Amino acid sequence: MKPIPYGRQHIDQNDIETVVKTLSADFLTQGPKVKEFEDKFAGYVGAKYAVAVNNATSGLHLAVLALGLKKGERVITTPITFAASANCVRYAGGKVWFADIDPDSYTLCLESTRTLIESKPKGFFKGIIPVDFAGLPVDLEAFKALANTHDLWIIEDACHAPGGYFTDSKNKKQLCGNGNFADIGIFSFHPVKHIACGEGGMVTTNSEALYKKLISLRSHGITKEQMSEDHGGWFYEMQELGFNYRLTDIQSALGITQLAKNNAGVARRNEIAKNYKNAFQGLIKFQNLQDGALNAHHLFIIEVEDRKGLYDFLRTYQIFAQIHYIPVHTLPYYKEIGYNSADLRHSEIYYSKCISLPMYPTLTDEEQAFVIEKVLTFVK
């Protein structure tokens, strides 16, 4: 059996031809493909606005700045995520506080977040960054109600979940990143994600004011809108300190073709997840799916007692499972700067047992059967 990674990109001939065509066009960056990608992505998730950026970490950074986060202000997020979900707060000089995860969904626990917020005076926290972990949508309607009570903003880290949704109290499907319950949504286009652009990201929002702020911050804080009769087409103004976080037309062209395949990719990911669940039901714990939700399945995670043993065992068969993630609050940087002493036992227990099995649309039935066989052999 050839090596089986935990995730990988799928680039077909259409992707290649589209990128080659863009390489022959007039613009390699700051051209029409960027806006086309933004418009199509906004339409796909149901948001009013989308801003393409060079990676999701940049998108998270812009998001906290656009929402006005200042030095010393506090934001709550989950410890079970990639470090960027927390680091964006630090980039702005803010302080990261962690609430625990739900032990079944692995997403940020609403009640743990509520307890943390209510343990402090109103205004102590400024925002919440829940993560649609492994592709499973957070119930943002419930988080929005909590946020409204305490005057908090919400950034939805939807990097794992393009195409995923949950069903709200009115029985309406709420696509990840649509902006109906979060101020801003963030997506990633890293190669192991659903939509591969090499690197890249997208920021979505329904707020025109936030959209304009994001556009400005993405490109040095520079605008060409303030024209006068004394200046020609060369004129521009830098109105605030921004960044060069732009996505290229080359990447955007690839993103457009990748986006067009995402529904099929999510469907295949769910077929793979169903096969895993059928094989492991009653034997091995895996992520719980709430009623009325569609997990976009960036990852398929199981919990086993001897996680390191299984990890090493699978590698002897060229199955390269992965661990997602080391809890952020245990990383040396966050231990050195200090963090809140909230009870994060579910996060730490989860980390001691979690392992991500191969999950990507081009994983064959034969390859998956091989993975399942080896996992069951080890566990039994």
The residue range of the domain holding 305 is: 4-379
**C-beta of residue 164 within 8 angstroms of C-beta of residue 136:** yes
Reported as a single tens digit per residue, the pLDDT across 238-288 is 999 999 999 999 999 999 999 999 999 999 999 999 999 999 999 999 999
Q: Are 226 and 172 in contact (CB under 8 A)?
A: no
Q: So what's the pLDDT on residue 366? A: 98
Q: How many domains does the chain have?
A: 1
Question: Residue 377 has which token pair?
Answer: 């052999």
Percent of the chain at pLDDT exceeding 90: 93
Taking all residues of the chain, what is their mean pLDDT, rounded to a whole number?
96
pLDDT tens string 296-326? 999 999 999 999 999 999 999 999 999 999 9
pLDDT at 228 over 90: no
Taking the CA atoms of 107, 116, 143 and 339 in sequence, report the sign of the dihedral they define: negative
- Residue 270's CATH number: 3.40.640.10
> Contact 315/69 with Cβ under 8 angstroms?
no
Q: Which of 84, 121, 117, 122 is nearest to 99 (CA)?
A: 117
pLDDT of residue 220: 97
> Hey, what are 121's tokens?
């005076």
Residue 340 clears pLDDT 70, i.e. is over it: no
Q: How many CA atoms lie within 13 A of 195 on its CB side?
A: 30
Rounded-to-integer distance, Cα 130 and Cα 4, Å: 30
pTM over 0.95: yes
Return the closest-CA partner of residue 215 out of 196, 242, 233.
Answer: 242
Helix (H, G, I), strand (E, B) or coil at 320: strand
